[in-house]
Amino acid sequence: MTKMADLSRLQIIAVILVYGFGVPVKAAGHAPSIDEEVLFNRHIRPILSENCFACHGPDEQARQADLRLDTSEGVLAAITSGSHSASTLMDRLTASDPEQKMPPAESGKQLSVHQIDVIRQWIDQGATWQPHWSFILPKRPPVPIVANETWGENTIDTFVLARLRREGFDPSPAANRATLIRRVTLDLTGLPPTSAEVAVFVADTAPDAYERLVDRLLASPRYGERMALDWLDAARYSDTYGYHEDYHRVVWPWRDWVIHALNNNMSFDQFTVEQLAGDLLPNPTNSQLVATGFNRLHGMTSSGIGAEYRVENIVDRVETTATTWLGLTAGCARCHDHKFDPLTQQQFYELYAFFATTSDPALMTGEDVNLPPVVEVVSPPQRTRLDQLDGETANLEEQLARRVDSADADFVRWQADQDPATNLYLSADATAHYTLDDIEGRKALNRVAGGPSGIIHGPGQSRPGYIAGALDFDGETYVDLGDPWNMDRLSPFSYGAWVLAPDNANGAILAKMDDENAYRGFDLYAKDGHVEVHVIHHWPDNALHVKTKDPVEANQWHHIFVTYDGSSRVKGVTLYIDGQSVAVDATYDSLSGTIATDKPLHIGRRNPSGFFTGLIDEVWVYNRQLSHDEVAQLASQNRVADLLAMPAQQRTPEILERLRAYYLENYDRQYRQLTRQLQQAREDQAGIQKSLPTTMVMGELKERPDVFFLNRGQYDQPTHKVHAAVPEWLPSLPAGQSVDRLALAQWLVAPSHPLTARVAVNRFWQIAFGAGIVATAEDFGSQGQPPSHPDLLDYLSVRFVESGWDIKAIMRLIVTSSTYRQSSRATPASIAADPDNRLLARGPRHRLAAEMVRDAALAVSGLLVEHLGGPSVKPYQPAGLWREMVNATYEQDHGAELYRRGLYVYRKRSVPPPNMTAFDAPNHETCTVRRQRTNTPLMALVTLNDPTFVEAARAFAQRLLTEESLQHATPHDRLRTCFRWALSRDPVAAEIQALMQVIKRQQDFYREKPAMADNLLSVGESARDESLDKVQHAAWTVAANVILNMDEFLTKE
Amino acid sequence: MTKGKYLTRRQLFGQTTYGIGAAALASLLCPDDLTASASDRSALGAPHFPGKAKRVIYLFQSGGPSQMETFDYKPSLKKLHGTELPDSIRQGQRVTAMTVGQSSFPCVSSSFKFSRHGACGRWVSELLPHIAGISDEISVIKSVNTEAINHDPAITFINTGSQQPGKASLGSWLSYGIGSECQDLPSYVVLISQGTGRPGGQPLFSRLWSSGFLPSRHQGVKFRSASDPVLYLSNPPGLDTSGRRATLDALAQLNELKAATVADPEIETRIAQYEMAYRMQMSVPGLMDLSNETDDTFSRYGPNARTPGTYAANCVLARRLAERGVRFIQLFHRGWDQHGDLPSALRLQCDDVDQPSAALVNDLKERGMLDETLIVWGGEFGRTVYCQGNLTQDNYGRDHHGRCFSMWFAGGGIRGGVEHGETDDYCYNIVRDPVHIRDVNATILHCLGIDHRRLTFRFRGLDQRLTGVEEAHVVRPILA
């Protein structure tokens, strides 16, 4: 044991001696080999950044001695090119006087002798300065020439091999075919291959077999699901708002958009532009709007100061955009100039300005609702039905018009039949009609049969009304109509009355409103002689409000009526005076929360304020939106009887027209039938519209507000105005277009941009190899790790852009390289030499992502339900988790939803799914472009005991025991199949032996304790094949549980 | 020999790698596995200097306890009761959305009586008679302050050093910094209870015990009173302990076979972690089983101590976790958010925690563990002097107040009987010795022998630390 450990240590020392620091295990101090030129970026900058930039870098406030070492001028001021002995920098680095010595002791930083040597060498070689590598536009690098080499499928391999040779390594042999198909299937689809797929590939000896396999995988719809995983992390995708009570929102249509875009191989530049600025494209499609959900996915709070959280939301967008596309850490510059990268605080707020003119609210409403702007998302079948209904309504409207033209004879007949004394009402489908004629018992009778009657409170007396009696609302009187009403913001409704108001009248004509709950509800309100309508969730930030432009004539009877179409928009509110819609001013037009309240509907008062003074008569309430005509009818109803009584010669054409309309609406059978059909078609349309999910999207304010620089990043310390701009050390914005998010997005994907393509291909590389060429995928700045293969990164970036940002092409290039196809087998010596496999002398081997662990178990067990897209699902979760944290109940799904892929599992930020968290799924509170990959006992507990995995083991066992071809198989044969299904290979004898022991032991156990078998077989909701012997099934379930926990099952290798 | 066959990363590089690929050198649990000694598994190896405390029990009072009804006695408010809070005191202080619409801000004097306790003569409210009884053990800071005024940012701030989500929590920092001392439990355990003073009160978030950017093995593990104290701890029904042991043996054999062919050190780590999981399965039920506690213990911790999931039962568990060497034990007691009905609600809420908190301190003392266990008691902010809602004869409420609030400390590294900091007559502003929550966190680290400026982790190009980029100072007057 001791000897072995000593040997290991010797090996390490040997490796270090041979390879120097060439293996970039650490970020800084990466030194040149002896014959190599010392390069500022590769060798010097990391040393300066780590040790000097904090005080001698970009941050002007923190800068000491007016010296900066991150610019050419700054460095040249501290050195004499070609002569280290004449360079102040060297004097200070090597000083023995602690007063002179740099870095100062209190900084805790210290340069190694070797690092000082490298700097000395660089100065003596002429001290050529370079701008930071990632800010220089990548050019297609010359492909290195590696003598006498046959290894390598494509250019990637030449770059990798050149480095391997330089460091004295050999590439590994190719992985065996079964391992390879498993690796590439997991990487490109997130699922293991089936045993049949493995068998086909292993047997396919054609030279292009692997390429055809890759093409098949890239064409699979599972590819989009796999690739979306990483993008969801970057986008901090979550089904909830995150803060406080962590309310629900509907943003999965954005996730669907991502999956489809990736499957359709949307080019990365378009993918970028649509997500960052789809709303600003000319005539954006629904899909382009949905894409902008990317920047609505940050957390939101309902409790807090709006101005403060507005800033937080925008900062989140800047940080997320910077990390995802630029690979830069922008957040530091919110409060001060960046300490390591050239991003100044001013430049931060110039980037901030791109996102600071959007129309989304700063705070959420404290409800499970989407916040504007939103768009409805129409599925293809819904689109078909809607188009069909459009046709139907057009047809019916045409038939109606024809009927109107042909109804004259019937109209004349009807007139002749009328008794002019008939009191005509249109109350056929009204919800309520209070005539207020008879106030016996202080009751307001409802003329609609079965409808609720009201109770009159206060001393108000009956007065002559517009029709018969009216009630005098004297400022103390109101009518309580109870709470059997079910209006809400998504349902159409209409209401109003005849009103005789005094001068400058004030008060509620009709209201169902809770003053104390931020005026939630709706009303019809007299305000200084004008009439207003409020439809309110939370006044004033979440409400609709319209007010007549002109006052309504006082001391005259007027019919005042409002219709609402359930659209939650001001344009859906129509205010009528005397049957004519009138011009209104709209002051608030943002409604997203419920307007339902348990306060009663009142005539003459809100609750408790807003008493009305004046006379009110004939109150109507409809649970639908009346048409213009219908309102006009309602306003003129009383006159119908008078008109009919009129001698024919006195009737003007206009009067005749009104009578005719009245006849058609109420008596003409054909017209009425068509109307009913039309109404039905419209209701169907509305029904579909209402059922359509909305998703949150970006929108710009019409008038863009001024944006300010914030001192120390504080929302309440604005100093000076800033204008949207990009840092001058990066390329310029596209010329000749407005400076907005669209320009920013197009700038990111301009071929002249040095960062975007590098950052993107690095993440694609990370998918395949487990780590990027730049290991710090989130930081391409001065403090990030330098690329392990800088030329390869540039080559891939240039190729990516030249291919038209073709993601599938770049993935194809990566996974068809020999580098990727190498065996991942290592030896202790090769691990010691390059523990993180930065040189790529072997293939990738690492544990699967959380979602893929779940998916693999479901897939091999046969439980997996593959359904592309749709709302998030709630599979098994230990009871009470939400309750103990956030006062909410987790309502677990049943049936197929239990077996969907991991990326569809509901993500609640405050209580993320625990079996995913255990496997390092980020909680998505902030942008993540690189997951941790840890190895803990909590993971073991999940795959051993979580019902998800126990049920998968049970189903896997059932699959093995019911497989037709295994009906007469020995247990050994069965285990062979089991390994093929789960691990894509055959077991070795020792493996069979280990598992047979478990099976035999458990068979004995369950034979003795059949109830225990029952217990085990009851885990999970999927049906069990009751024809199976329980002892067998339970014993094999335990064996399957072991296999689903094998390192190899949890690992891509 | 089996454990020594393969070179682990620890043998190679200790803790120099980070982030991706820094695969599980140490476990979430502390270790016997592989090769490293316990101290070698932490970032610091050893503390910066000898700390008095070895562990922390943080009794977090979630929601914002009122300082005026507990420890910050303000006889001056009697006179001011019902008068408007002067602008000269409020100084344009921002108020929450809940009271921003209030036209009047009348001051409220506490409706509870205060009396002096202990040799130190500490004023404590009648709501906390048991904590009053340990006055000489505890040190109270009355001048704690925070910028946050709403629960979510405030509780995130005090627990992670930042109002914005994404940073590492205090307990995770400790786990990362000085590792764990126990063999079969996580180094950071969280226990949650629901207050009776405001049922369904403010929510909690897993980010409060998240490891943030630190490796996730340092995250707090929530122990629950439900059937599985640790999520997924129990074997599935129908698989008993011996069956599990047999399957784990088989699994280890299978994984060893793999390791023999590919030499990936992750496999050895995984084998060790499955063993650790098994040890947790074996030890946690015993930990959670209070049946071997004496009647005397239950009577000391109070009537709720026998009810799993209560604050009192969690205090007993905290002691048991401390006995087993868990580094950071954090209780979260919800319900301290008395916007209205404060007089009746706060009485219930204080009843929940008074006796158990004091009992815990006494119990640890008797067992000789108090000297090495730092106890922290407090919430994310305090409450306003002015009334929220209507001030009536016998009822009032108080809104959130971050400018001053009280916390107390006891045990390892703390000098008992001290009062530090002073607020003005309105209990609105601090007039002497302000202590920012960053200072509180720096002080907690100090008690464990950690210099908060030197416990860092490189993330996104910055050396992150719990106390952030602003200055923080250890509160020395409360230290022993």
Tell me whether residues B97 and A329 touch, CB distance under 8 A. no
Tell me whether residues A831 and B258 touch, CB distance under 8 A. no
Min CA distance, B430 vs chain A (Å)?
22
Nearest to A1005 among B35, B243, B271 (CB): B243
pLDDT band at A921 (very low <50, low <70, confident <90, very high): very high
pLDDT digits (tens, 9 = 90+) for A401-425: 999 899 989 988 888 877 655 545 5
Phi, psi for B188 (deg, rounded to 5): -135, 115
Min CA distance, A131 vs chain B (Å)?
18
For residue A667, pLDDT over 90 is answered with no
The residue-averaged pLDDT of A627-633 equals: 82
- A826 and chain B in contact, CB less than 8 A: yes
Integer angstrom CA distances of residue B390 from B105, B109, B341, B399: 10, 14, 10, 12
pLDDT band at A33 (very low <50, low <70, confident <90, very high): low
Q: Which residue of B has its CA nearest to A919?
A: B216
The residue-averaged pLDDT of A920-933 equals: 90
For residue A1, pLDDT over 80 is answered with no
Q: What are the chain B neighbours of A1 within 8 Å (beta carbons)?
A: 1, 4
The residue-averaged pLDDT of B470-477 equals: 95
DSSP 8-state symbol, A64: -
The residue-averaged pLDDT of A632-659 equals: 71
Question: Residue for token digits 């390490």?
Answer: A12
Q: What are the chain A neighbours of B5 within 8 Å (beta carbons)?
A: 4
| Residue that wins the pLDDT comparison between A629 and B106 | B106
Min CA distance, A449 vs chain B (Å)?
44
| Residue that wins the pLDDT comparison between A664 and A151 | A151
Min CA distance, A776 vs chain B (Å)?
8
Phi, psi for B260 (deg, rounded to 5): -65, -25
Tell me whether residues A1045 and B274 touch, CB distance under 8 A. yes
Burial of A1025 (C-beta count, 10 Å sphere; 0-12/13-18/19+): exposed
How high is the pLDDT of residue A467? Answer: 76
Min CA distance, B448 vs chain A (Å)?
21
Q: What are the chain B neighbours of A911 within 8 Å (beta carbons)?
A: 205-206
- A886 and chain B in contact, CB less than 8 A: yes
- Kindly provide the ipTM of the predicted complex, given to two decimals: 0.79
Q: For B396-473, list the strands marked E by DSSP.
A: 398-401, 405-411, 419-420, 422-423, 430-432, 435-436, 457-459, 462-464
Min CA distance, A926 vs chain B (Å)?
7
Tell me whether residues B17 and A827 touch, CB distance under 8 A. no
Of A418, A402, A505, A423, nearest in space to A467 by CA: A423
Of B46, B131, B91, nearest in space to B375 by CA: B131
How high is the pLDDT of residue B165? Answer: 83
| Residue that wins the pLDDT comparison between B385 and B41 | B385
For residue A520, pLDDT over 90 is answered with yes
Tell me whether residues A995 and B203 touch, CB distance under 8 A. no
The residue-averaged pLDDT of A15-41 equals: 48
Nearest to B236 among A12, A939, A1016 (CB): A1016
pLDDT digits (tens, 9 = 90+) for A161-171: 999 999 999 99
Nearest to B277 among A923, A925, A937 (CB): A937
Tell me whether residues B264 and A845 touch, CB distance under 8 A. yes
For residue B36, pLDDT over 50 is answered with no
First to last CA, chain B: 47
pLDDT band at B20 (very low <50, low <70, confident <90, very high): very low
**Residues A465, A527: Cα–Cα separation, whole Å:** 22
For residue B38, pLDDT over 60 is answered with no
Q: Which residue of A has its CA nearest to B250?
A: A994
How high is the pLDDT of residue A642? Answer: 62
Q: What are the chain B neighbours of A884 within 8 Å (beta carbons)?
A: 192, 194, 204, 224
Question: Residue for token digits 């609505």?
Answer: A296
- A776 and chain B in contact, CB less than 8 A: yes
Nearest to B165 among A299, A931, A936 (CB): A299
Tokens of A170: 């050999």
A94-98, A276-280, A394-398, A433-437, range with greatest mean pLDDT? A276-280
For residue B299, pLDDT over 90 is answered with yes
Give me the helices (H) in B263-384, please: 265-288, 295-301, 311-323, 342-366
Nearest to B11 among A8, A847, A925 (CB): A8
- A26 and chain B in contact, CB less than 8 A: yes
The residue-averaged pLDDT of A206-215 equals: 97
CB–CB of A112/A29 below 8 Å? yes
Nearest to B192 among A243, A884, A1012 (CB): A884
Q: What are the chain B neighbours of A991 within 8 Å (beta carbons)?
A: 254, 257
How high is the pLDDT of residue A428? Answer: 53
Nearest to B207 among A846, A923, A932 (CB): A923
- A185 and chain B in contact, CB less than 8 A: no
A-B C-beta contacts closer than 8 Å: 296
Min CA distance, B29 vs chain A (Å)?
8
| Residue that wins the pLDDT comparison between A36 and B223 | B223
Q: What are the chain B neighbours of A781 within 8 Å (beta carbons)?
A: 461
HSE of B91 in the Cβ direction (CA atoms, 13 Å)? Answer: 6
Its pTM stands at 0.78
Distance of alpha carbon A99 from the chain centroid: 54
Min CA distance, B76 vs chain A (Å)?
31
Tell me whether residues B277 and A941 touch, CB distance under 8 A. yes
Q: Which residue of A has its CA nearest to B11?
A: A9
Q: Which residue of B has its CA nearest to A328?
A: B460
How high is the pLDDT of residue A702? Answer: 87
Tell me whether residues A991 and B244 touch, CB distance under 8 A. no
Nearest to B203 among A5, A886, A915 (CB): A886
**DSSP labels for A845-857?**
-EEPPHHHHHHHH
Determine the residue among A341, A920, A934, A1051 to mutate to test chain B binding: the one whose Cβ has the most chain B Cβ atoms within 10 Å: A934
- A1001 and chain B in contact, CB less than 8 A: yes
pLDDT band at B35 (very low <50, low <70, confident <90, very high): very low
Tokens of A985: 């290979």
Q: What are the chain B neighbours of A934 within 8 Å (beta carbons)?
A: 23-24, 28, 215-217
Quick check: helix, strand or coil at residue A575?
A: strand
How high is the pLDDT of residue B345? Answer: 94
Determine the residue among A1, A49, A945, A997 to mutate to test chain B binding: the one whose Cβ has the most chain B Cβ atoms within 10 Å: A945
How high is the pLDDT of residue A419? Answer: 66
HSE of B289 in the Cβ direction (CA atoms, 13 Å)? Answer: 7
**Residues A537, A521: Cα–Cα separation, whole Å:** 7
Q: Which residue of A has its CA nearest to B236?
A: A945
Least confident of A438-447, A741-750, A946-955, B106-115: A438-447
HSE of A223 in the Cβ direction (CA atoms, 13 Å)? Answer: 23
Least confident of A59-63, A266-270, A272-276: A59-63
How high is the pLDDT of residue B10? Answer: 36
Nearest to B262 among A8, A836, A845 (CB): A845
CB within 8 Å of chain B, chain A residues 299-338:
299, 301, 303-305, 312, 329, 331-332
How high is the pLDDT of residue B12? Answer: 33
Q: What are the chain A neighbours of B151 within 8 Å (beta carbons)?
A: 244, 303
Min CA distance, A827 vs chain B (Å)?
5
For residue A213, pLDDT over 80 is answered with yes
How high is the pLDDT of residue B34? Answer: 33
CB–CB of B23/B9 below 8 Å? yes
| Residue that wins the pLDDT comparison between A32 and A786 | A786
